[in-house]
Structure 1
Amino acid sequence: MSSSIAPYITAWSGEQDLPCALVERPDRSIGYASELLSDRDRHGVLWRQTALRHRVGRPEFARVHPQRQRRAMELLLCQVCGGPADQNEDGVLWLHRDYRDDWPHWPEGMASVEPPVCLPCVSVALQLCPALRRGAVTVRVKECPVAGVRGTIFRQSVLAPAAVTAGNFAYDDPAVRRVLASALIRELRGCVIVPLEELSGTMTGGLSR
């Protein structure tokens, strides 16, 4: 992907993680030593804090900005341009790598950390993303409830909480209290794969924001 073009959720080199010290809390959850209300989501889960300096420096395509990913997922915004994702009577539009061999009726029930897309940005993503060029599908999703977070779980340690492993955690999982979240998860339900040819007449433009 060209260095002059980057999806909305991509982190830039000017957006590094903020120096927030983790501490143990009396309820055995983790927190920041100097914590703000905005450091947690409405479920009380702690989030990784990253500088908000969109388009400063160079895009780092291997990194997703936690706050922009979360905003795109919460508001169902296009992951490429940041505008509203496409929706019609058949559901919200998602663009994914083609993993239909993973299980029957894929991607039904999938836990997705990739936000949806708008119609114009489908062609942009297909042209510029090497992974999608290896095989991609567009999917209409009837229901996509927020289900949890992806992040790193921390164990108790002598000096400060210590990272154990990264994974997906449901909001009703007690372990989520010790997770530092980096992405919001929606569960995809009522999925219907839409042939790309059916969308081709409306896939123009993109990345205008």
Structure 2
Amino acid sequence: MMLPNGAGIAYQDEILGDRDSRGVLWDRATTNPGRGTPRFARIHVHRQRRAMRKLLCQVCAGPADHNHDGTLWLIPDRTRHWPAWPEGMLVAEPPLCLPCAHTATRTCPALRAEGHLIIRAREHPIHGVDGTHYREGPRSPAPVTSEPVAFDDPAIRWTLASKLVRTLRHCTVVANR
């Protein structure tokens, strides 16, 4: 539903846990820890958000690998589209620990097909969220796009967040395949 005076979107039956401390509306998801099978392209909303906030491994939920070169990230290789890649890149994929990075490169179909970079980033501030952006509709909000939105962007009031997003800075490529 739309909030009065074009103030954004809300759930009709919104509860306290639907928004974070910044007032961002988050997608709802059920939790069944330890159940199910991995869906590589679709990390669970709550798991992704916790892993990004606390810099936990996206696979095992233990601490991400960190050394003097920075925190370990495994990302699809987009160097041919962006010469400075991955400097300044927005990421919704949480970091990894070293053992899980090796497992992920062998088991994730997208990483095998497109190639990937294993990088370390010394800085990785939280940027905002990724999710479905809505606009005012005649009766209810209408979905428009799905893209990252910074916390200071007014569009965040019209975004149903599904992922926390960080910016990678001071990156070092460890390996590419």
Structures share fold, TM-score greater than 0.5: yes
Q: CA deviation at 1:144?
A: 0.4
1:86 equivalenced with 2:65 (yes/no)? yes
Q: CA deviation at 1:55?
A: 3.7
Residue number among 20, 33, 36 corresponding to 2:15 in the alignment: 36
Give runs of aligned pairs for residues 132-143 of structure 1, distance below 5 A. 132-134=111-113, 135-143=115-123
Distance in 2, Cα, partners of 1:62 & 1:106: 21
1:177 equivalenced with 2:168 (yes/no)? no
CA contact (8 A) 1:153 1:163 kept: yes
Distance in 2, Cα, partners of 1:36 & 1:146: 25
Q: CA deviation at 1:188?
A: 0.3
Residue number among 72, 78, 93 corresponding to 1:99 in the alignment: 78
Q: CA deviation at 1:27?
A: 6.0
SS at match of 2:10: strand
Deviation sequence 1:6-35 (CA, Å, 0-9, x none): xxxxxxxxxxxxxxxx34245612112222
Q: Which residue of 2 aligns with 1:191?
A: 171
Change (3 A) 1:104 1:171: same
Normalization by structure 1: what TM-score? 0.77
1:128 equivalenced with 2:107 (yes/no)? yes
Q: Which residue of 2 aligns with 1:115?
A: 94
Q: Which residue of 2 aligns with 1:153?
A: 133
Q: CA deviation at 1:38?
A: 1.8
Deviation sequence 1:97-127 (CA, Å, 0-9, x none): 2222222221000000010000111111111
- Is 113-122 or 36-45 further displaced after alignment? 36-45
Q: CA deviation at 1:37?
A: 2.4
Residue number among 46, 49, 69 corresponding to 1:70 in the alignment: 49
What stretches of structure 1 move > 4 A for 4+ residues in a row?
none
Deviation sequence 1:25-71 (CA, Å, 0-9, x none): 45612112222222112221100011111343444444221111111
What is the aligned length? 175
Q: Greater CA radius of gyration, 1 or 2?
A: 1
1:45 equivalenced with 2:45 (yes/no)? no
CA contact (8 A) 2:6 2:136 kept: no
Q: CA deviation at 1:187?
A: 0.3
Distance in 2, Cα, partners of 1:136 & 1:166: 23
CA contact (8 A) 1:25 1:31 kept: no
Change (3 A) 1:186 1:106: same
Deviation sequence 1:138-182 (CA, Å, 0-9, x none): 111010000011111122223322222211111111111110001
SS at match of 1:67: helix
Unaligned runs of 5+ in 2: none
Q: Which residue of 2 aligns with 1:19?
A: none
Distance in 2, Cα, partners of 1:154 & 1:32: 13
User: In the alignment, residue 10 of structure 2 is paired with which amino acid?
Assistant: G
